[in-house]
């Protein structure tokens, strides 16, 4: 017992030392820790997790990310974390070329479109099998599309809703797809009610991954926890909020893939803890590096920076329901009073570019000739005076700043404060409100409390329609058009572009649309960010996709 | 004694029913629409409306409450809106993870806290006493997330002694049977993995156990001081018993009674409130499960989750009260 007392003493002292030893004005938890290059590499000396050092290269990948999947059936989810995993288990008929949003063949080898754009015929890749050993064929494709589109389907299990299907191919009552027919074992024909320009772009989305009909019938509501597709990895185990384990699909139809034997995806919510785990060799790759950790990453030879192609936009939206923001002069004035470059340098560690249009420059149809409202406080004041406010706005402006971190906006409150300081200079007082996320979304959708709000969007399908129409058309009220911006001319352009199948003509329409949006200034587009990942230096073959999902099948370790 | 027990158990029901009512009204007073939050910006308005209908969110809330209670009585704990999985099935691994972490934290807190408290009282006003009490003061006021991040920095990143996150080494995974990994590795006879699991427990349980440790230390100290000045201890000392014997045998028994209450309360608190520790150490426990449910307005999960935790809490309190009687014959439940 006496010994125990002494041990306790030692323990307490030890704790005391540990606490006082690293409390020297170190309030970020990361200063003074410039990487981990003290002659040792993070991955090879951590007894906490002994990596395979059997002379062969590592064949298991452990990926750390901030959240967990909600469900593993891609058809019933809309969140990126769920789709990321589903993408490894399922293939869609088409896929995006790695690192881009350009469509290429996947389960379908080729396709033909009739000139009127009302019929698409896909030739399927022969000999493909689902993970449960059943055949992938035209019937399987028909089964999946029926499951998603028929509200009375017996395979639409309790709580299921096929949200992406409804939003990409029209809700029940105004479906784009009339029917899906199995012409023969390896030919599928889609008959449309009306032409849909982004049809192929949509078909390639992860959410339309083809599930094994036999498994859906057998597992029923449990399918969402035990998914079965044709993808490069076979689902093995899901420990909620902890890890998802995927095994190599040895019968994968793409020759020589996947290169890894196993992928384990771990949920590590805290950004700094996730980075610590990477430095400590407990994980091999991490999503969403915080801009604060960028310098530590760049100083470490054991780690490498990986950039996801920018495919998002963060913006401030003006609430047209509120005066004086229905006045274009006021909107333009405030647009002139935002210093985007300064914000990028201060809060994005330079990992972003200033946004001019509501869609990212990497997307086709982007209008290069649109010039931004340059940062010019005198111009801003002059415009305010023209609008009838020579002394600035009489009432304080309520600015909603995002309470959560998103890839397009790591720290909304800080950005809002910077903007607040700028607007102060032109006589506009700003009150920043940052309610909890669920409330935030509700309030901005109702448009009763906010004058100006901050939000962002990541593209789904690599089509300009998914930015311009989805976010700024009058059809998106109430919903994603939280500015309540209505412009009939724009509406005509955007709905016309949806039915136009000639890409050249569509490009023209979208370029015009961007001119209109620029002149009306319903938004202040802020930035397009480059989301950052970090991985071990010897991790190769990883090409992140712009939409946030990519196959892990090409990854290997040197 | 038996009648007392029955009475106590009978009281549990109104308490828990009151709990559900309070939680229910609070949840529905928070603004924020589950359909909007869970389906997000990518879903159509139709889908969101359909979800609201399905959840009966358009019904008066009292009716919603009775529907929920009706299901509960039939043993249906509800289904998560976000994951679309029955909560009864979903919550088990979370509870197990939390139980394991709480047990380890309380073991640390009790062992260190009680011993430090005893030594402080025994050597009152010595340098040890002062140091221990200053550390206890620091411990009580230490922000957990800061302590957690510092631990990771020091013991994982700088010294490489311990893993920084999670419950096990994913490169050498534990086969789960009960979801209590300590037990699972013992059952499987995997002693190497048992060590790994223990290593994963050390940092989070120190982070989580620091506050209870400090509270227990101070409680033990003051309680011991009181007992040490009582007549029977003076008698024992006068009889020439060894100091050690007096302290650890005679005094401790009586001094521990109030400490037990603190231990019980703290255990209950840890079982439901380890959100920060679970976030920093990526520990898949029930605190984060409920926290995330609150963020996404997953009503059924919030209600059922809090109900289960409240139930555990009151049961622990009951156990503490019963232990009292076992330790102190003066306490009589008639």
> For residue range A525-542, what is the model confidence (pLDDT) as tens digits?
999 999 999 999 999 999
Q: How far A283 CA sits from the closest chain B CA (Å)?
A: 9
Contacts of B142 in chain A (CB under 8 A): 19
Q: Do B153 and A76 touch (CB under 8 A)?
A: no
A250-254, A337-341, B169-173, range with the lowest pLDDT: B169-173
State what percent of residues in chain A have pLDDT above 90: 85
> pLDDT value at position B332?
65
Burial of B7 (0-12, 13-18, 19+ CB in 10 A): exposed
CB A70 within 8 A of CB B39: no
Lowest mean pLDDT among A125-129, A547-551, B38-42: B38-42
CB contact under 8 A, B164 and A4: no
Q: What is the 3-state secondary structure (H, E, C) of A256-316?
A: CCCCCCEEEEEECCCHHHHHHHHHCCCCCEECCCCHHHHHHHHCCCCEEEEECCCCEEEEE
Residues from chain A that touch B138, judged by Cβ atoms under 8 A, are 16, 19
Spatial separation of the C-alpha atoms in residues A263 and A258, rounded to whole Å: 10
Nearest by CB to residue A240, choosing from B90, B157, B280, is B90
**Residue A158 in tokens:** 């309790």
Mean pLDDT of A33-42: 34
Q: Considering only CB atoms, which chain B residues are within 8 Å of A50?
A: 171
Q: Do A273 and B111 touch (CB under 8 A)?
A: no
Q: Do A48 and B162 touch (CB under 8 A)?
A: yes
Residues of chain B with pLDDT under 70: 1, 273, 331-334
User: pLDDT tens across A443-458, in order?
Assistant: 999 999 999 999 999 9
Question: Read out DSSP for A187-230?
Answer: EEEEEESS--TTHHHHHTSGGGPPPPHHHHHHHGGGGGTS---S
Nearest neighbour of A12 by CB, restricted to B31, B47, B116: B116
B198 touches chain A (CB under 8 A): no
Chain B residues within 8 A of A2 when measuring between CB atoms: 244
CB atoms B43 and A161 under 8 Å:
yes
Q: Looking at beta carbons, which residues of chain A come within 8 Å of B297?
A: 438
For residue A159, pLDDT beyond 90 = no
What does the pLDDT read at residue A42? 35
φ/ψ (deg, to 5) at A19 = -75, -45
Q: Of the candidates A9, A225, A269, which has its C-beta nearest B119's C-beta? A: A9
Angle subtended by helix axes B299-327 and B252-272, to nearest 10: 170
pLDDT of A6 above 60? no
Give how far B240 is from chain A: nearest CA, Å. Answer: 19
Q: Which residue has the higher pLDDT, A47 or B264?
A: B264
Instruction: Give B 1-40 residues with CB within 8 A of chain A.
Output: 30-34, 36-40
Distances, alpha carbon B128 to alpha carbons B47, B134, B251, in Å = 65, 10, 20
Residue with tokens 């009966």: B56
Ranked by mean pLDDT, which of A6-20, A364-378, B62-76, B317-331 comes out on top? A364-378
Residue A53's pLDDT is 45
Question: With an 8 Å Cβ cutoff, are B119 and A5 in contact?
Answer: yes
Percent of chain A having pLDDT more than 70?
90
Higher pLDDT, A11 or A115: A115
- What pLDDT score does B31 carry? 83
Of B84, B153, B297, the CB nearest to A224: B84
CA-to-CA distance for A467 and A476, rounded, in angstroms?
A: 11
Q: What is the mean pLDDT of residues A102-116?
A: 96
Q: For A224-230, what is the mean pLDDT?
A: 97
| Interface contact B334, partner A, CB < 8 A | no
- Subunit contact A276:B83, Cβ cutoff 8 A: no
pLDDT at A38 over 50: no
Residues of A in contact with B82 (CB under 8 A): 70
Q: What is the largest CA-CA distance in chain A?
A: 91
Taking CB atoms and an 8 Å limit, are B169 and A49 in contact across chains? yes
User: What is the C-alpha separation between A60 and A73, in angstroms, rounded?
Assistant: 24
Mean pLDDT score, A220-242: 96
Q: Which residues of A touch B157 (CB under 8 A)?
A: 33, 36, 276, 279-280
CB within 8 Å: B164 and A478: no
Q: A239, B297: Cβ pair inside 8 Å?
A: no
Q: What is the pLDDT of residue B170?
A: 87
Put simply, the chain B residues between 73 and 132 with a CB less than 8 A from any chain A CB are 79, 81-85, 90, 93-94, 97, 111-112, 115-116, 118-119, 128, 131-132
- Condensed to tens digits (0 to 9), the pLDDT of residues A303-338 reads 999 999 999 999 999 999 999 999 999 999 999 999
Q: Which of A52, A161, A557 is the best mutation test for B, with the most CBs of B within 10 A? A: A161
Question: Among B34, B116, B281, whose Cβ lies nearest the Cβ of A273?
Answer: B281
With residue A487 as reference, give the H or E element that holds it: none
Question: In this model, does residue A253 exceed pLDDT 70?
Answer: yes
User: Which H or E run contains B27?
Assistant: helix B2-29
Q: What is the pLDDT of residue A55?
A: 56
**Nearest residue in A to B54, CA atom:** A159
Q: Average of pLDDT values for A505-529? A: 97
The mean of the pLDDT values for chain A is: 90
Confidence of residue A275 (pLDDT cuts 50, 70, 90): very high
What local confidence, expressed as pLDDT, does residue B1 receive?
A: 59
Mean pLDDT check: name the lowest of A87-96, A226-235, B82-91: B82-91
d(CA A151, CA A154): 9
Q: What is the pTM of this model?
A: 0.87
Q: What pLDDT score was predicted for residue A476?
A: 92
pLDDT at B10: 86
Averaged pLDDT for residues A514-529: 97
CA distance B299 to B290: 10
């Amino acid at each position: 017992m006496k010994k125990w007392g002494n041990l306790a003493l030692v323990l307490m002292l030890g704790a005391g030392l540990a606490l006082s030893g690293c409390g020297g004005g170190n309030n970020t938890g990361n200063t003074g820790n410039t990487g981990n290059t003290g002659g040792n590499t993070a991955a090879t000396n951590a007894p906490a997790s002994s990596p395979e050092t059997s002379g062969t290269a590592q064949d298991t990948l452990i990926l750390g990310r901030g959240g967990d999947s909600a469900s593993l059936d891609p058809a019933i989810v809309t969140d990126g974390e769920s789709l990321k995993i589903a993408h490894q288990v399922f293939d869609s008929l088409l896929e995006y070329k790695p690192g881009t949003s350009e469509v290429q063949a996947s389960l379908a080898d080729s396709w033909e479109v009739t000139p009127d754009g009302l019929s698409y015929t896909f030739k399927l890749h022969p000999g493909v099998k689902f993970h449960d050993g059943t055949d992938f064929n035209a019937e399987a494709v028909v089964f999946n599309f029926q499951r998603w589109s028929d509200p009375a389907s017996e395979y639409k299990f309790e709580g299921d809703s096929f949200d992406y299907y409804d939003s990409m191919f029209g809700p029940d009552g105004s479906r784009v797809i009339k029917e899906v027919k199995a012409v023969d074992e390896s030919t599928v024909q889609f008959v449309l009610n009306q032409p849909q320009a982004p049809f192929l772009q949509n078909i390639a989305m992860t959410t339309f991954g083809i599930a094994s009909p036999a498994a859906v019938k057998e597992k029923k509501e449990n399918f969402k926890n035990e998914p079965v597709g044709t993808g490069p990895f076979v689902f093995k185990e899901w420990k909620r909020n902890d890890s998802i384990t995927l095994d190599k699909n040895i019968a994968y139809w793409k020759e020589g893939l996947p290169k890894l034997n196993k992928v384990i995806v771990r949920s590590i919510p805290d950004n700094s803890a996730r980075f610590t785990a990477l430095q400590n060799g407990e994980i091999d790759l991490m999503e969403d590096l915080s801009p604060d950790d960028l310098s530590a990453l760049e100083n470490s030879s054991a780690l490498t920076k990986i950039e996801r192609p920018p495919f998002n936009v963060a913006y401030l939206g003006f609430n047209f329901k509120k005066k004086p923001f229905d006045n274009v002069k006021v909107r333009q004035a405030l647009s002139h009073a935002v210093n985007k470059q300064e914000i990028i340098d201060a809060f994005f560690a330079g990992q972003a570019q200033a946004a001019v249009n509501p869609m990212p420059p990497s997307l086709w149809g982007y209008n290069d000739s649109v010039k931004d409202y340059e940062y010019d406080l005198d111009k801003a004041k002059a415009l305010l005076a023209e609008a009838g406010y020579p002394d600035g706005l009489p009432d304080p402006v309520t600015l909603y700043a995002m309470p959560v971190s998103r890839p397009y906006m790591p720290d909304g409150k800080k950005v809002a404060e910077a903007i607040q300081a700028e607007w102060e200079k032109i006589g506009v007082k700003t009150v920043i409100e940052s309610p909890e996320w669920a409330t935030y979304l509700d309030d901005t959708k109702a448009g009763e409390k906010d004058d100006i709000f901050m939000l962002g969007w990541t593209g789904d399908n690599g089509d300009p329609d998914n930015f311009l129409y989805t976010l700024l058309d009058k059809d998106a009220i109430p919903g994603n058009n939280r500015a309540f911006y209505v412009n009939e001319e724009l509406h005509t352009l955007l709905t016309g572009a949806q039915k136009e199948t000639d890409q050249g003509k569509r490009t023209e329409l979208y370029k015009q649309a961007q001119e209109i949006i620029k002149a009306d200034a319903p938004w202040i587009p802020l930035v397009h960010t480059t989301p950052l990942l970090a991985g071990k230096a010897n991790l190769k073959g990883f090409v992140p996709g712009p939409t946030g999902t990519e196959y892990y099948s090409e990854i290997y370790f040197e | 004694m038996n009648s007392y027990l029955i009475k106590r158990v009978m009281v549990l029901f109104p308490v828990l029913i009151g709990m559900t009512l309070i939680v229910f009204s609070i949840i529905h007073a928070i603004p924020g629409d589950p359909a909007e939050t869970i389906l997000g910006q990518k879903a159509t308005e139709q889908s969101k409306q359909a979800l609201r209908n399905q959840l009966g969110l358009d019904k008066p809330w009292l009716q919603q409450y009775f529907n929920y209670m009706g299901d509960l009585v039939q043993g249906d704990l509800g289904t998560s809106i976000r994951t679309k999985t029955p909560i009864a099935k979903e919550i088990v691994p979370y509870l197990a993870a939390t139980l394991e972490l709480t047990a380890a934290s309380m073991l640390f807190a009790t062992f260190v806290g009680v011993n430090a408290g005893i030594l402080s009282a025994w050597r009152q006003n010595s340098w040890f006493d002062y140091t221990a009490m200053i550390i206890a003061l620091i411990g009580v006021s230490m922000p957990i997330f800061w302590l957690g991040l510092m631990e990771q920095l020091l013991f994982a990143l700088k010294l490489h002694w311990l893993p920084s996150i999670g419950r096990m080494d994913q490169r050498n995974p534990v086969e789960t049977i009960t979801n209590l990994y300590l037990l699972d590795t013992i059952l499987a006879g995997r002693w190497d993995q048992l060590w790994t699991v223990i290593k994963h427990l050390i940092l989070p349980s120190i982070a989580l156990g620091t506050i209870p440790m400090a509270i227990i230390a101070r409680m033990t100290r003051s309680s011991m001081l009181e007992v040490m000045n009582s007549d029977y201890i003076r008698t024992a000392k006068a009889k020439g018993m060894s100091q050690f014997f007096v302290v650890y045998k005679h005094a401790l028994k009586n001094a521990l009674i109030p400490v037990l209450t603190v231990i019980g309360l703290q255990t209950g608190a840890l079982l439901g409130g380890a959100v920060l520790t679970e976030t920093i150490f990526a520990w898949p426990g029930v605190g984060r499960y409920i926290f995330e449910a609150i963020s996404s307005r997953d009503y059924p999960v919030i209600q059922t989750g809090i109900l289960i935790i409240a139930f555990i809490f009151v049961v622990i309190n009951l156990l503490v009260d019963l232990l009292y009687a076992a330790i102190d014959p003066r306490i009589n439940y008639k």
